[in-house]
Every structure is written in structure tokens, then in C-alpha cells.
A and B are shown apart, each in its own frame.
Chain A
Amino acid sequence: MSTKNEKVKSSRFQEFLKKFRKQKSAIAALIVLLILVFIAIFCYQIAPYGINEFDYSSVLQKPSAAHWFGTDEFGRDLFSRILCGTRISLTVGLAAVTVGAISGTVLGLIAGYYGGIAESLIMRMCDVLFAFPGIILAIAIIAILGSGMTNVVIAVAVFSMPTFCRLVRSTVLATKESVYVQAERSLGASDARILFRHILPAALPNIIVQYTMSIGNSIMTASSLSFLGMGAQAPTPEWGLILSTGRTYMVNAVHMMLFPGLAIFITVLCFNLLGDGLRDALDPKLSE
């Protein structure tokens, strides 16, 4: 029986794959992201130069065969630095959004299912967080905690949390009153069983889409914080930081701004395209 059940589960997954396969741009985005993940894992092996290999004989050089993306103000190879920056940006994005998604989901489940004072407290807290523009909130948190990548992760997690909280709560409110959840209650199921077996699976597609979209957003915010000097500190090869340094040499070394900017742009775009594709493939309204 269990094997038969697995067969059914996998056939549902295949149905999702079938729909997802039609999302051409999302597939392309996924391939690019997989390459980025590969780069993030093996960046130090692939990079042609060390990230802190100074070469004062070739500073601020234009892109060439030796230095694909040119060199920076200390003669370091920009291509190598941007490759290694992939690991930092992806790690920060994933870590921050994972923390935000888990805490937001738990709070959203509590708020939606139990209601009452817990709901008022949680939702008003979210309203407060929503009232700040994301980057301002992150700056405020960094100002309290101090700069550094760990604090950037915390800051980005805090501002991505309320979105998940609201999203999950609204699904819980809709699902809680559905007849099949009532049926479940009449069977005598515990709250935990109803929440995790019936309500959470209903919210999961939305959470997955929001998760993917938020990663792009949080990579952007993390880079912005580094750009503003509140995240990664030199000589870390963080994209935002490289961009910020490049600003000084904007007139005579455009490549120092162009390539880190492009890296951020492509990564964020891919996450958003993937999120869009997932939404189209997971949306139950489009499924039948």
C-alpha cells in the first residue's frame, strides 16, 4: 500500500513538473540559479586569482583576456572577487529568508488559528514592521545591532517575516472555516494535527512562491546595506561593497560598477522569474 501511495504522491509531483515545464523563463532562471549555486560552492576552486591577490602593477585595468572583468583599485581580479561574492550573497539571502519564513509561518499559524489577543498582538507587530520601508527598517536594526554580515541576516529576516505572517494568516483564516477542517474537528483531531496536516499544506504553495521571491529581494537589501557600509566590511568580496568601492572610480573604471551591479541584477531577476513560474505552476486556480 505504501508503495502505491508513493506512486500517487509522485504522480502529483509530476503534474506540477508538467505545468512548471511550460514556464520557459522560469526554467531558464532555474538553470542560471543552479549555475550560481555551483559557483557559490566551488568559487575558490574556479576563481583564476585569489580574492586578495594584490597586483599594484595592474590597477583599475579594463576587462581583458587575463582579467575578464578587469581589476580593481588594488589590482585584484574582479572576476574572481565576483565569483566568490556569489557565495556570500546566496548564503545571506537564503539564511535570512529561511529564518523569516519559518518565524513568519509559525506566527501566522498561531494568529490565524487561535485568534484573540495573540492575533491582535502579532498582527499589530507586523503592521508596525510594514510601516517602515524595508531598507530603512534594516538600517535601523543594523544601527542597534552594529554592522556585520550576521546582523544583516537578522535585519533582513526581520523585515521579510511580516509578509509571511500575513500570507499564512490569511490562508489559515480561509482554510479554518472550510468544511473539511470542520469535518476534521468532528473526527476529534487535535489542533496540532489540524494545523500541520491540513492547514499548513494548504498554505505551502503560497509560502514556496513567497520564499523564492523574497530571496531576490533580500539579496538586494543585503547588498544595499553593504553598499551603504553597514553590511560586509572590506576586504570581503561582497557585491554591494565592490559596487560601493567602484563608485569612487566611476568615471575612469566603469567596469568596477558594471559587473557587481550585473551580478546582483541577474541573481535577483532569476529568483523573481523562478518565483513567478512557481506561482503559475502551483496556483490551484490555474490547475483545473
Chain B
Amino acid sequence: MSDDILKIEDLKVYYPVRKGMMGKVQYVKAVDGVSLNVHKGEVLGIVGESGCGKSTLGKAVCKLIPVTDGNIVLNDMDIAKMSENQLRPYRKQIQMIFQDPYASLNPRMSVHDIIAEPMEIHKMYSTKEEIDQKVTELLREVGLDDYHAQRYPHEFSGGQRQRIGIARALATEPDLIIADEPVSALDVSIQSQVLNLLSKLLKERNLTMIFIAHDLSVVEHISNRVVVMYLGNVVEEGTSRELYENPLHPYTKALLDAHPIPDPTKRKERVLLEGTIPSALNPPAGCKFHTRCKQCMEICKQKAPEKYSVNAEHFVYCHLYDGMKSAE
């Protein structure tokens, strides 16, 4: 499809781990064969519990960690195997908003310098005045004031810092923004402000974004489509309305059930997961979810499920839907 800004094909990110001095090198399969597309102008939410590989996926797409295998096609260019020098011009097209606004800004640089940094790196403007003007514009766009430019990060609150991080990500006018849990480090009251800012920017700038989070209501609020990950794999993918109203995979159902409803009079039948996520060092064979799945069948322990399509936009990786049309 030509309107895909990013295509991830069978992406694998393994971390080598050596146990003991002479131990065999094992691999933590943080992302184990993920394929997905991001359409132009959409917000793709990625959800999953801690350790499912969603952050690793985001960092790998940004090429902050080496990719073991697979393709990352950004605007028809495969960036997965590029060297740092080849990659540099393409870095501009893909920007990241980090989870912790306290750690992601250099404490020794003024806000002006932090936001000007990407513009200087990519030599986007020739004069200092143009950069200064652009910094002021960006500050206003994210809801900060002109005079904030001369301050240092420690003089700001968490929400304000995250706004600075957003301004920095916007400075290169990227095609794709990867937001790695951008609000999870903030107070709830501030979360909604930052989310509203993001929604506003998305609309105004017609941005494309991958939004990584573990908070389902946040993802529902902002995303057009949602991908659910479990232990390095995608388990379900669909438009956010479809997924929230009609979850098919047992894991998605459990995730949604665990999510509280803000109404104490309503009590629903909950399918809660037991145990913890298995080690990614030694993931279960077959369907990786079978150890915790209430509807586990014999086949789940032996064979990894294929991608079944429910409709054009809704896909699920589960043997319960073996009857459906395979998407491959």
C-alpha cells in the first residue's frame, strides 16, 4: 500500500545473555517476528503488559538498539540494516518522545538549546535568527512561553518537560513520531493535558504516530488502530473501536477485563490472568500465551497460531479462530 509510512516485516530483536563466565549465550527474544504497517496520518497504539517488547519495538524502529533480523521500511527505504552514517539523514523523518521527561533532557542545556539541537544537527536553517524564531514557534505550539527558552530543565514540572520533549520531536518536522509511554511518568491530571496537546498537534500537523502505552484508556482515547503484544509477538490487531468492543484473543479479553470501569454499581464477570509473563529467555513453545490461557487447547502447545483475519482491519493470532480465513 502506498499510504503506508512505515512497514515492519518480521522484525526480531534479540538481546544476548550469557549465564556465568563460561555459560552458553542465550537470547532474550524481546521482539520475535513482529509485522505491522502504519498508515499515513493515523495513530497506532501498541499495548501489552510490562516485558512484552513494546518499548523495544519502538526503540528498534528508531534504531536505538540493533535489529537482529527483519525489515523496517520507512517511506520505501529499508532502514533496518543501515549503518549509523547511512541512517543519519533518515533520522530526521522519525522522532521519539521518551517516557521519562526527567531523564530525556540534558540538564546542562537551556530549553532553547535542547529544541535547537535537532535543527542544528540537520542544518535545517542557515541563520541563528531562523532557528530562534522556530524555537519560539515550537514553544508556543506546545503551550509554553517565549521566556521559557532561557531556562533549564530542572526549573520545569514533569508535564512542562514533556512538552519540551514534544517540541524537540517536532523540530525536525518528522513523518513519524514514536511516543514511548509519553504520559505514564506524569500525574493523572497532567496526563490528560499532555494527551490533549498531542491530539491537537496530531490534527493540526496531520502527524503519524506510534503510541506505546500500557494504559488501555489512554490508548483508546488517542489511537485509530491498536496492536496488542504479548511476549514479543502481536496477538491481535484492529481498529480501536473494533478491538475494544469485540476483543477476540483471550489475552486481549483479559487485558480489557482487568481495566477498571469507573462505576462502582456495575460489576462484571472478570477473566483475570493468573501468574506472570513467562521469561522471554525461554518462551513457551506453540502459542506463547498457552501457559496462562483459560481456553488453551492441545494444538496451542504445539503450533504457533497464524494470522487470521476477522475483517479487513481486524486480525487475530489464535487457534480458537482456526476456522477463519488465514490472512497470509
Give chain B nearest CB distance to A192 CB in angstroms. 11
Closest B residue to A202 using CB positions? B108
Judge whether B62 is part of the interface by a CB distance below 8 angstroms: yes
- In the bound complex, do residue B110 and residue A187 qualify as a contact, i.e. CB atoms below 8 Å apart? no
Q: Which residues of B contact A187 (CB under 8 A)?
A: 91, 95, 117-118, 121, 168, 172
* B112/A1 in contact, CB under 8 A: yes
Q: How far is the CA of A190 from the CA of B87 in the complex (A)?
A: 11
**Residue B235 at the chain A interface, CB threshold 8 Å:** no
B121 touches A8 (CB 8 A): no
Tell me if A8 and B110 are in contact (CB < 8 A): yes
Q: A182, A184, A188, A201: which has the most chain B beta carbons within 10 Å?
A: A188
Specify which of A186, A189, A201, A202 is in contact with B95 (CB 8 Å cutoff). A186
Given A178, A188, A201, which contacts B103 in the complex, CB threshold below 8 Å? A178
Q: Are A179 and B104 in contact (CB under 8 A)?
A: yes
Interface size on B, residues (CB 8 A): 37
The reply to whether A184 and B117 form a contact with Cβ atoms under 8 Å apart is: yes
Chain A residues whose CB sits within 8 angstroms of the CB of B106 once the complex forms: 180, 184, 198
Partner of B64, one of A5, A180, A186: A186
Known: A186-B95, A187-B91, A187-B121. A179 touches B103 (CB 8 A): yes
Cα–Cα distance between A14 and B122 once the two chains are bound (Å): 33
Contacts of B9 in A (CB 8 A): none
Indicate whether A4 reaches chain B with its CB closer than 8 angstroms: yes
B270 an interface residue at 8 Å Cβ cutoff? Answer: no
For residue B98, CB closer than 8 A to chain A, the reply is yes
Within 8 A of B (CB), among A157-211: 178-180, 182-190, 193, 198, 201-202
Q: Which residues of chain A (1-38) have a CB below 8 Å from chain B?
A: 1-2, 4-5, 7-8, 12
| B residues less than 8 Å from A4 (CB atoms) | 149-150
Number of chain A residues whose Cβ lies closer than 8 Å to a Cβ of chain B: 25
One of A179, A186, A202 near B91 (C-beta < 8 A): A186
| Structural contact, B112 and A193, CB atoms closer than 8 A | no
> A180 and B128 in contact (CB under 8 A), knowing A186-B64, A188-B91?
no
**Residue in A1, A183, A201 whose Cβ sees the most chain B Cβ within 10 Å:** A183
The answer to whether B64 and A182 have CB atoms under 8 Å apart is yes
| Contact yes or no, B112 A188, CB < 8 A | no
Is B105's CB under 8 angstroms from A180's CB? Answer: yes
Inside 8 A of A190's CB, which chain B residues have their CB?
88, 121
* Cross-chain contact B110 with A189 (CB below 8 angstroms): no
Within 8 A of A (CB), among B119-138: 121-122, 128-129, 132
Complex Cα–Cα for A36 and B64 (A): 52
Give the complex CA separation of A186 and B117 in angstroms: 12
The chain B residue sitting closest to A288, CB to CB, is B154
- Distance to closest chain A CB from B175 (angstroms): 14
Q: Mark B83-99, 1 if CB is under 8 A from A, else 0.
A: 00001110110111010
State whether the Cβ of B100 lies closer than 8 Å to any Cβ in chain A.
yes
For chain B, residues 160 to 198, give those with C-beta under 8 angstroms from any C-beta of chain A. 165, 168, 172
Q: Evaluate contact between B92 and A188: CB separation under 8 angstroms.
A: yes
Residue in A8, A183, A201, A288 whose CB lies within 8 Å of B98? A183
> What is the 8 Å Cβ interface bit string for chain B, positions 180-223, against chain A (1 contact, 0 not)?
00000000000000000000000000000000000000000000
Q: Which of B87, B94, B121, B151 contacts A193 (CB 8 A)?
A: B121
Q: Which residue of B lies closest to A182 (CB)?
A: B64
**Contact, CB under 8 Å: A2 / B98:** no
Return 30 A-B CB contacts under 8 Å, by A number. Answer: A1-B129, A1-B132, A1-B149, A2-B128, A4-B150, A7-B150, A8-B151, A8-B152, A180-B104, A180-B107, A183-B96, A183-B104, A186-B94, A186-B95, A186-B96, A187-B95, A187-B118, A187-B121, A187-B168, A187-B172, A188-B88, A188-B89, A188-B91, A188-B92, A188-B121, A189-B117, A190-B121, A193-B121, A198-B106, A288-B154
| Besides the known contacts A184-B117, A186-B95, 6 further A-B residue pairs in the complex with CB atoms under 8 A apart | A2-B128, A183-B98, A186-B94, A186-B96, A187-B118, A198-B106
Binding site for B on A (CB under 8 A): 1-2, 4-5, 7-8, 12, 178-180, 182-190, 193, 198, 201-202, 284, 288
